[in-house]
């Protein structure tokens, strides 16, 4: 008898996603039918020229935006029927975000920035503090917990952003140009951290980037061209 391992549904699947911004003479088709599948634990680069639709695709995958048509499935289930509360819950519990622009609260402390997702999730203060310090510790930033977020270098800010992304113990990290604002040495350190999290914790990485070196480190490279998925680029 042949025993088959149960099929693990992919972390994400999209079917014919389209996204249209504006209407009439300002109408713009940012995505024109994108179908793809991303396995759990994979590291995937989304590449393509500026304006090709990379961020639009990532925002739809991350449930920050909805498609004009088409479908997103998470672990085999369509997300179309989830209401706003359920979507917020999934996002907060499952996703971590690392964006080029950091989006830190400038005058709040590093620790308060890192623990914000826990506050939103209603985690009590003591537990927030413990997990925040733990996340900062993993990024070797625990000694900066009380600093204001503005009083940090670019690389330190991005490490705080990664600590914030990790504080909810996410299964997926979405990163949009994560090294775009960093010098190459600091960018390399941030990349190492992301790939180490992928290897050691099995966190799925979805990384939008136009940097070939970063894309090359991912298991897969998906190229977007004028809102369409170009045949996947080989390693
Ligand atoms: P990328 O991340 O690849 O640079 P984006 O997904 O941000 O591209 O944008 C794709 C296209 O959609 C661009 O031409 C951009 O100008 C347009 N676009 C993005 N967001 C909006 C919006 N909110 N309203 C109108 N057009 C938009
Ligand atoms: Mg973009």
Quote the distance between the C-alpha of residue 64 and its chain's center: 11
Largest CA distance in the chain: 64
Q: Ligand 1: which atom is nearest the Cα of residue 26?
A: 25
- 50 Cα: distance to centroid of ligand 2 (angstroms): 7
Question: Residue 6: its pLDDT value, please?
Answer: 67
Question: Residue 155: its pLDDT value, please?
Answer: 92
Contact between residue 166 and residue 5 where contact means Cβ atoms under 8 Å apart: no
- 156 Cα: distance to centroid of ligand 1 (angstroms): 29
Give mean pLDDT, residues 156-181. Answer: 93
Q: Ligand 1: which atom is nearest the Cα of residue 54?
A: 3
CB neighbourhood size of 72 (10 A): 20
Residue 19: name the closest of 64, 54, 57 by CA.
Answer: 57
Burial-class residue 29 by CB neighbours within 10 Å (0-12, 13-18, 19+).
middle
Q: Ligand 1: which atom is nearest the Cα of residue 208?
A: 2
Question: Who surrounds ion ligand 2 at CB < 5 A?
Answer: 55
Question: Residue 235: its pLDDT value, please?
Answer: 57
pTM for the full predicted model: 0.92
First to last CA, the chain: 37
Q: Is 22 in the pocket of ligand 1 (CB under 6 A)?
A: yes
Partnered with residue 31 across adjacent β-strands are 19
DSSP notation for 214-233 = HHHHSSEEEEEETTEEEEEE
pLDDT tens for each residue of 10-38: 999 999 999 999 999 999 999 999 999 99
Q: Is 204 in the pocket of ligand 1 (CB under 6 A)?
A: no
Contact between residue 59 and residue 65 where contact means Cβ atoms under 8 Å apart: yes
Question: Residue 1: its pLDDT value, please?
Answer: 62
CATH of 40-50+84-234 among 3.40.50.20, 3.40.50.970, 3.30.70.80, 3.40.50.300: 3.40.50.300
Nearest protein Cα to ligand 1, atom 21: 21
């Amino acid at each position: 008898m042949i025993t088959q391992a149960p099929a693990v549904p992919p972390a994400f699947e999209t079917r014919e996603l389209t996204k249209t911004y504006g209407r009439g003479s300002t109408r713009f088709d940012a995505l024109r039918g994108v179908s793809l599948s991303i396995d759990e634990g994979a590291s995937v680069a989304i590449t393509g020229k500026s304006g090709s639709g990379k961020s639009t695709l990532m925002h739809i995958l991350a449930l920050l935006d909805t498609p004009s048509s088409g479908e997103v499935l998470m672990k085999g289930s369509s997300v179309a029927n989830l209401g706003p509360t359920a979507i917020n819950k999934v996002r907060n519990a499952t996703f971590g975000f690392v964006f080029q622009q950091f989006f830190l609260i400038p005058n709040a402390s590093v620790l308060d920035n890192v623990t914000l997702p826990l506050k939103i999730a209603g985690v009590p203060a003591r537990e927030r503090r413990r997990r925040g310090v733990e996340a900062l510790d993993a990024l070797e930033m625990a000694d900066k917990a009380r600093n204001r977020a503005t009083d940090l270098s670019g690389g330190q800010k991005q490490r705080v952003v990664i600590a914030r992304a990790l504080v909810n113990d996410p299964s997926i990290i979405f990163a949009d140009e994560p090294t775009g604002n960093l010098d190459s040495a600091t960018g390399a350190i941030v990349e190492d951290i992301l790939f180490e999290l992928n290897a050691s914790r099995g966190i799925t990485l979805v990384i939008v980037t136009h940097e070939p070196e970063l894309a090359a480190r991912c298991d897969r490279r998906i190229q977007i061209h004028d809102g369409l998925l170009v045949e996947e680029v080989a390693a």
